[in-house]
């Protein structure tokens, strides 16, 4: 496939991952398209921040409308579809489980069917989630059984099965099982963003304390732009596959908080208050990925992990750039 033939659709293009992926694909010579239910209401700030707003073509499409979606896909010769669109909050999925399933499973099914019925040989790369695994006793890989504990994880798992079914029938459908990945584009409601902002504000004397919930959870946190590099790489392989995208490094949230405050020479215990109201009974205790397969087969390996990632997040939030850091420190 020549560079000129590369025309990509990114669903969820205005979100954290969509904006970074758009920048990566434009840099690689793709013609990039994105969609939104309402262009007049779409927040395009992230696209502007990665300086790609004028390089992508946006369309108003409702993925819940199967007929509209089929017409849209049929009118465009997309060489690649990167399916990122989905609610991003696991906690919110408990408040609206039906809406979560509608947004993830139904929309994915409609998109898959539209591609299936089009006359083009489109490559499809799906963004799955580590939430599908639930709690893990060891690092999760591509063969680890799904055991989700949230409506979000259940819906993502169902969407993943749709992709696997298409691949089994001979179509080019891949799935990236993405573990937690962060950037300055994270919504303020995410705990990582809350911690980074809290440490910055504490160092500036803007706050006296920061309220958090369970600090004993263990996660595998990565850098979002690197994870989108992995998805772009997946879309360019000869054969479609499923890959776990993770750092393979685990960290307790307590350590995350400690490192964030240490950056400013602060003792986190003097600022952090544990709030029972922020405790979630359905929280996954341990979530860590095994990225051996993607390392061995695609040569992808996360550079930003552990303390390096936290330093990068703080510097990105502050607007400090370093040539030694991974790309997109904005």
Q: What confidence score (pLDDT) does residue 161 get?
A: 98
The yes-or-no answer on residue 152 being catalytic is yes
The yes-or-no answer on residue 203 being catalytic is no
Q: What percent of the chain has pLDDT over 90?
A: 85
Does 126 have pLDDT greater than 80?
Answer: yes
Does 326 have pLDDT greater than 60?
Answer: no
DSSP H helices, the chain, are 16-27, 45-49, 66-75, 90-95, 97-101, 107-117, 151-168, 191-203, 224-234, 253-262, 292-298, 306-318
Q: Contact, 3 vs 25, CB < 8 A?
A: no
Q: What confidence score (pLDDT) does residue 120 get?
A: 87
Q: What confidence score (pLDDT) does residue 3 get?
A: 40
pLDDT, one tens digit per residue, over 110-123 is 999 999 999 889 99
Of the listed 152, 229, 287, 311, which one is catalytic?
Answer: 152
Q: What percent of the chain has pLDDT over 70?
A: 95
- Architecture field, domain 7-182+223-248+288-303: 3-Layer(aba) Sandwich (3.40)
Q: What confidence score (pLDDT) does residue 43 get?
A: 86
**Per-domain boundaries in the chain:** 7-182+223-248+288-303
Buried b (16+ CB within 10 A) or exposed e, 37-59: eeeeebebebbebbebbebbebe
71-85, 219-233, 278-292, 296-310: least confidently modelled range = 278-292
Mean pLDDT of 134-163: 97
Predicted TM-score (pTM) of the model is 0.94
- Of residues 78, 148, 144, the one with CA closest to residue 111: 78
Q: What confidence score (pLDDT) does residue 320 get?
A: 56
Of the listed 30, 103, 131, 175, which one is catalytic?
Answer: 131
Buried b (16+ CB within 10 A) or exposed e, 134-160: bebeebbbeebebebbbbbbbbbbbbb
Q: What confidence score (pLDDT) does residue 70 get?
A: 96
Q: What is the CA radius of gyration of the chain?
A: 20
Does 205 have pLDDT greater than 80?
Answer: yes
Between 87 and 296, whose confidence is greater?
A: 296
pLDDT, one tens digit per residue, over 242-293 is 999 999 999 999 999 999 999 999 999 999 999 998 888 788 999 999 999 9
Of the listed 129, 130, 174, 329, which one is catalytic?
Answer: 129
pLDDT, one tens digit per residue, over 288-321 is 999 999 999 999 999 999 999 999 999 999 985 4
Q: What letter would DSSP give residue 103? A: I
The yes-or-no answer on residue 131 being catalytic is yes
Q: For the residues of 216-250, what is the DSSP string, one character each?
A: --EE--EEHHHHHHHHHHHTTSSS--EEEE-----
Q: What's the chain's average pLDDT? A: 93
């Amino acid at each position: 496939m020549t560079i000129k033939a590369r025309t990509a659709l990114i669903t969820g293009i205005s979100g954290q991952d969509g904006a970074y992926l758009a920048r990566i694909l434009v840099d690689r010579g793709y013609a990039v398209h994105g969609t939104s239910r309402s262009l007049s209401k779409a927040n395009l700030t992230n696209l502007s921040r990665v300086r790609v707003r004028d390089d992508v073509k946006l369309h108003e499409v409702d993925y819940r409308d199967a007929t509209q979606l089929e017409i849209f896909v049929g009118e465009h010769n997309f060489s690649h579809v990167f399916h990122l669109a989905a609610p991003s909050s696991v906690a919110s999925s408990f408040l609206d489980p039906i809406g979560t399933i509608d947004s993830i499973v139904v929309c994915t099914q409609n998109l898959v069917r539209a591609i299936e019925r089009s006359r083009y040989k489109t490559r499809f790369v799906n963004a799955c989630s580590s939430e599908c695994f639930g709690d893990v006793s060891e690092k999760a890989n591509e063969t680890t059984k799904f055991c989700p504990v949230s409506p979000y994880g259940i819906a993502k798992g169902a969407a993943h099965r749709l992709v696997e079914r298409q691949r089994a029938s001979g179509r080019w459908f891949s799935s990236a099982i993405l573990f937690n990945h962060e950037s300055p584009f994270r919504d303020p409601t995410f705990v990582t963003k809350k911690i980074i902002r809290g440490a910055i504000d504490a160092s500036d004397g803007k706050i006296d304390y920061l309220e958090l919930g369970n600090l004993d959870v263990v996660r595998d946190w990565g850098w979002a732009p690197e994870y989108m590099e992995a998805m772009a790489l997946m879309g360019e392989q000869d054969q479609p596959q499923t890959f776990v995208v993770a750092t393979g490094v685990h960290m307790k949230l307590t350590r995350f908080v400690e490192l964030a405050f240490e950056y400013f020479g602060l003792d986190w215990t003097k600022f952090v208050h544990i709030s029972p109201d922020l405790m979630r009974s359905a929280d996954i205790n341990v979530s860590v990925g095994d990225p051996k397969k993607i390392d061995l087969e695609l040569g992808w390996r996360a550079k930003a992990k552990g303390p390096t990632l936290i330093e990068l997040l703080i510097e990105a939030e502050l607007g400090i750039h370093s040539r030694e850091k991974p790309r997109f420190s904005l």
